[in-house]
Structure 1
Amino acid sequence: MDSRAKNRRTYRFAPAFILLFLAEKSLYGSAILSEFRDRLPDYSVDSAVIYRSLQELEKEGSLKSSWNTETPGPATKWYEITDIGLQKLANYYGDIEKRKRNLDFFLSTYSQLPPR
């Protein structure tokens, strides 16, 4: 398997987590990265994946953004989930729920195998 295919598979659910975090509250890019690191310590993601996902989600209408220039320092781009994004989040929920059932089956069946 080439590394690009592996990365796509690894980061497949990054947009789902981004939408989940934004359903809770509006955030800017590096704050979203912090959410991943703080709340999902076993999920390895880098800033390039976050920003690429944000760009794609915004392009499809799942997010909207605005620039905050009122605070000192560089302007920050804040993201907010849209109705389209909430529907996409619900679709991810259904997909992840199905995958979880399959993984639970695997774990349960594996744990019942006789020792070798």
Structure 2
Amino acid sequence: MSMNKYFRHTPAFILLFLAQKPAYGALLFKRLDEEMPFNLIDTPALYRALNGLEKEGAIEAYWDTSEPGPAKKWYRITLKGMERLSELKQDIEKRRQDLDFFLETYEKLQI
């Protein structure tokens, strides 16, 4: 599978995690890496997706300077982002049906 095909769903995973709670980039990457069963999302893909989601208004960013050290850019999901997440869920459900069909049909092969 090409990496571009896999990264197609990066926004879905970002919105899913941000729907749970706000996060900054490195924290979001850590959660993706630790919680997803099979994470292929790398840091550049994560930040490209965050930028795209911010431009479309699905997430909003804010800076936190309350902690010592450099300011962190935090992200939170917007109402538009929740609507987008719902659309992505429906898309993934359709793709899952196709994948289930593939697996079931493959299992019937006498290989």
Question: Which residue number in structure 2 is paired with residue 58 of structure 1?
Answer: 54
- In structure 2, which of residues 49, 57, 66 is the aligned counterpart of residue 70 of structure 1? 66
Alpha-carbon RMSD:
1.0
The aligned length equals 110
Q: Aligned to 2:23, which of 21, 27, 42?
A: 27
- 1:8 deviates by 2.3
Q: Which amino acid aligns with 1:64?
A: E
Corresponding residue number in structure 2 for 1:14: 10
Identify the residue that residue 81 of structure 1 maps to in structure 2.
Answer: 77
| Structure 2, unaligned runs of 5 or more | none
Once the two structures are superposed, residues 35-85 of structure 1 have per-residue CA deviations (whole angstroms, 9 ceiling, x without a partner) of: 111012422111111111111100110001110001001100110000110
Flag structure 1 segments of 5+ consecutive residues without an equivalent.
1-5
The reply on whether 1:98 has 2:87 as its aligned counterpart is no
Whole-Å Cα distance in 2 between the matches of residues 113 and 41 of structure 1?
A: 27
Cα distance in 2 between the residues matched to 1:94 and 1:19: 14
Letter in 2 for 1:95: D
Residue from 32, 37, 42 that aligns with 2:38: 42
Q: Distance in 1 between matches of 2:58 and 2:95?
A: 23
Cα offsets for 1:2-46 (capped at 9, x unmatched): xxxx33212000010000000000000001101111012422111
2: CA distance, partners of 1:23 / 1:10: 21
SS at match of 2:67: coil
Identity of aligned residues (%): 45
**TM-score computed with the length of structure 2 as normaliser:** 0.94
Rounded to whole Å, the distance in 2 between the matches of 1:12 and 1:36 is 15
Cα distance in 2, alignment partners of residues 27 and 50 from structure 1 = 12
